[in-house]
């Protein structure tokens, strides 16, 4: 009796994980080698044809490049903002910095759909406040459609995404800063080090492990991110801000080609497994250190 | 003196950071004539709460709100029940395959939604659960489970086994011990976990967008996400919906900030 108890306790959770996550995962792999359509009878096995279609699609390569830029540059931007704010908040003012930390975390709490909506409206070409300010300052012409312009759309979505992710980085950096032993700074002060030197020789090296975890997690999450691009641009104009998760929906539910959509999502999965593997290795190295 | 000197930059930073959200709040209070005016103004004398009632009248937001409440609260309850059983097993038993199970959970948390969505869509269609509350509740539960189990595991492990051993000696079964001893002691932890789960389901967009298709089941984020493309002439009502939708997460966040912060820090570092 005692032996089976833990398995019985685990059974419901395993059922969920297997039926809703793992089985679909396997089915997805099978789909990717078959001709499956939403609007007509499937034609059965098709070998690597779906993959060939994906690789032969110029939009895929564009989306691939966009996703990489979106994930890496967006995450770096968020890390930079998060670190700067963490340094500001680390100047201890008791209650005040705790309230400020709460306010600065709001972008992380609100739904990505709301965040995307708010940014889209802020950037509106005629009635958005940002355009008005930029045109008043003579930086841009009024009526500039930031999201409608293929050269700026991806950058805007990336900024919105960074806006949502930086509070996470900020909180983690703050925890990192507060765990640096005070003795290290005291010893440096005794040796007459300037605050500039202390920052580069104590603070930055101590934050390196947190930074690598954040960078990888941020890249993985952004790589998966469907919401911001879908809400703000739907991948447009003319696919200029298309990213891979949005393209999966496009293939599957707009072109009704489930096979091609599956092939693409298998490729996303493979990429993410590689990134997750890296992440686990970084974590393992942290634990040993 | 030092404090007031710091107050100003901290407050200015807050305003800059919250700019997109503040602009949405301002828009949500204006009549349409003021929304479509150049140059835009932050405030106007004709501001009112009217867009907040209009949106329930012109757009199906009362239905969406009901759907969101049904889905998020059911998914939270289901996740907590299933999750606490599993977390109890991990926290209190040594058994064969324990490590492997934990690894499967950890990995399923990394799973991209895009790589399960098509089969899920097919499965729910076949089972007659596509475009139903139940279908979405089951999917949300599965997606939330790994994180919930992992959080609860931490809370349960923090409870000393001695209390439980005493109960066992008094003739309680393991499950009774879970129900009578551990759950009450872990109540604060359970509360925090319930909040995480509720917010996760409440804010979830991708699965809800693809697995539902009618006003009767679509949740608020789907409503907002879809209308952004189509109803751009009613920015004030859309803003009102966005603001209203953000209130529950904001209140929960303010109430539980410490747990939240500890949760993220722990979640990513351990």
Read off the pLDDT of residues B1-53 as tens digits, 9 standing for 90 and up. 667 777 888 889 999 999 999 999 999 998 888 888 778 888 888 888 888 88
The whole-angstrom separation of Cα A195 and Cα A201 is 10
For residues A112 and B241, what is the distance between their CA atoms, to the nearest angstrom? 14
Cβ-proximal residues to A183 (8 Å cutoff; 6+ apart), any chain = none
Looking at the complex, does the CB of residue A178 fall below 8 Å from at least one CB of chain B?
no
Q: Give the C-alpha separation, B198 to A16, whole Å.
A: 18
Q: Which residues of chain A are within 8 Å of residue B118 when distances are taken between CB atoms? A: 24, 28, 31, 248, 252, 258, 261-262, 265
Position with higher pLDDT, A56 vs A95: A56
pLDDT at A68 over 80: yes
What pLDDT does residue B104 have? 81
| CA A110 vs CA A79, A85, A86, B198: distances in Å | 19, 19, 20, 13
Confidence of residue B259 (pLDDT cuts 50, 70, 90): low
| Averaged pLDDT of chain A | 88
Domains with residue ranges and CATH for chain A: 50-104+148-288 (1.10.3720.10)
Residue B267: predicted pLDDT: 47
Query: Mean pLDDT throughout B50-68?
Result: 88
Handedness of CA A208, A212, A218, A219 (dihedral sign): positive
Residues in chain B closer than 8 A to A160 (CB atoms): 20
- CA distance, residue A85 to nearest chain B CA (Å): 9
Interacting residues of A224 by C-beta distance below 8 A, sequence separation 6+: A245, A268, A272, B112, B113, B114
| pLDDT confidence bin for A56, thresholds 50/70/90 | very high
> ipTM more than 0.95?
no
Whether A206 has its CB under 8 Å from any CB of chain B: the answer is no
Alpha carbon A175 to its chain centroid, in Å, reads 21
- φ and ψ of A205, to 5 deg: -60, -35
Give CATH 1.10.3720.10 domain extents, chain B. Answer: 51-269
Kindly indicate the confidence band of residue B270, based on its pLDDT and cuts at 50, 70 and 90.
very low
pLDDT tens digits, one per residue of B193-226: 888 899 889 999 999 999 999 989 999 999 888 8
Q: Between B270 and B249, where is the model more confident?
A: B249
Q: Which CATH class is domain B51-269?
A: mainly alpha
Question: Which pLDDT belongs to residue B123?
Answer: 92
Distance in angstroms (rounded) separating the CA atoms of residues A114 and B112 = 22
The mean per-residue pLDDT over the stretch A46-54 comes to 89
pLDDT in tens, B71-116: 999 999 999 999 999 998 988 888 888 888 888 887 777 778 888 8
Please state the length of chain A: 289
Residue of A nearest to B246 (CA): A110
Reported as a single tens digit per residue, the pLDDT across A90-119 is 876 677 878 888 899 899 889 999 999 999
Provide the 10 A C-beta neighbour count for residue A87: 16
Tokens of B265: 């820090």
Residues of chain A above pLDDT 90, percent: 38
* A145 at B interface, C-beta within 8 A: no
d(CA B235, CA A113): 15
CA distance B38 to chain A (A): 6
Q: Average pLDDT, stretch A153-182? A: 91
Do A118 and B242 count as a contact with CB atoms less than 8 A apart? yes
User: Is there a contact between A213 and B210 if contact means CB atoms under 8 Å apart?
Assistant: no
Question: Is B116 close to A5, i.e. CB distance below 8 A?
Answer: no
d(CA A282, CA A140): 43
Which residue in the set B85, B115, B119 is minimally distant from A269, CB to CB?
A: B115
pLDDT band of residue A240 (cuts 50, 70, 90) is very high
pLDDT surpasses 80 at B258: no
Chain A nearest C-alpha distance from B37 (Å): 7
């Amino acid at each position: 009796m005692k032996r089976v108890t833990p398995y019985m306790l685990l059974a419901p959770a395993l059922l969920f994980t297997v039926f809703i996550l793992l089985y679909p995962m396997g089915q997805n792999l099978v789909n990717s080698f078959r001709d499956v359509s939403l609007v007509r009878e499937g034609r059965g096995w098709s070998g690597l044809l779906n993959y060939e279609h994906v690789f032969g699609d110029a939009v895929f390569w564009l989306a691939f490049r966009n996703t990489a830029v979106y994930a890496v540059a967006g995450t770096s931007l968020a890390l930079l903002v998060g670190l700067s704010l963490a340094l500001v908040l680390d100047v201890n003012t008791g209650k005040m910095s705790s309230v400020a930390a709460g306010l600065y975390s709001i972008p992380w709490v609100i739904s990505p759909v709301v965040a995307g909506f708010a940014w889209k409206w802020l950037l509106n070409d005629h009635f958005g406040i940002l355009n008005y300010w930029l045109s008043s300052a003579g930086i841009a012409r009024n009526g500039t459609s930031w999201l409608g312009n293929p050269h700026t759309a991806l950058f805007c979505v990336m900024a919105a995404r960074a806006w949502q992710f930086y509070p996470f980085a900020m909180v983690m950096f703050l925890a990192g800063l507060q765990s640096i032993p005070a003795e290290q700074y005291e010893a440096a002060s005794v040796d007459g080090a300037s605050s500039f030197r202390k920052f580069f020789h104590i603070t930055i090296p101590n934050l390196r492990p947190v930074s690598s975890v954040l960078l990888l997690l941020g890249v993985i999450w952004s790589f998966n991110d469907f919401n911001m691009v879908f809400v703000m641009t739907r991948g447009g104009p003319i696919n200029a801000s298309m990213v891979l998760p949005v393209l999966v929906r496009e293939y599957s539910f707009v072109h009704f080609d489930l096979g091609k959509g599956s092939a693409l999502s298998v490729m996303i999965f493979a990429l993410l497994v590689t990134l997750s593997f890296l992440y686990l290795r970084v974590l393992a190295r942290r634990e040993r250190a | 003196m030092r404090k007031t000197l710091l107050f100003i930059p901290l407050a200015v930073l807050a305003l800059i950071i919250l700019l997109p959200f503040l602009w949405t709040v301002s828009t949500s209070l204006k009549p349409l004539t003021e929304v479509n005016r150049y140059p835009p103004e932050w405030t106007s004398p004709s501001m009112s709460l009217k867009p907040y009632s209009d949106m329930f009248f012109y757009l199906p937001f009362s239905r969406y709100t009901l759907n969101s409440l049904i889905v998020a609260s059911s998914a939270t309850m289901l996740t907590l029940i299933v999750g606490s059983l599993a977390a109890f097993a991990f926290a209190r038993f040594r058994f064969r395959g324990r490590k492997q199970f934990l690894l499967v959970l950890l990995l399923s948390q990394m799973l991209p939604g895009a790589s399960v969505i098509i089969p899920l869509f097919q499965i729910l269609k076949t089972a007659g659960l596509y475009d139903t509350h139940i279908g979405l509740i089951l999917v949300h539960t599965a997606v939330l489970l790994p994180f919930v189990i992992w959080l609860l595991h931490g809370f349960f492990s923090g409870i000393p086994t001695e209390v439980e051993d005493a109960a066992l000696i008094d003739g309680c079964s393991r499950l009774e011990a879970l129900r009578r001893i551990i759950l009450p002691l872990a109540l604060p932890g359970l509360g925090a976990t319930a909040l995480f789960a509720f917010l996760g389901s409440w804010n979830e967009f991708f699965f809800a967008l693809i697995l539902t298709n009618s006003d009767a089941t679509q949740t608020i984020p789907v409503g907002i996400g879809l209308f952004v493309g189509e109803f751009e002439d009613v920015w004030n009502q859309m803003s009102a919906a966005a603001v209203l939708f953000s209130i529950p997460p904001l209140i929960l966040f303010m109430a539980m900030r410490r747990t939240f912060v500890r949760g993220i820090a722990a979640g990513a570092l351990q």
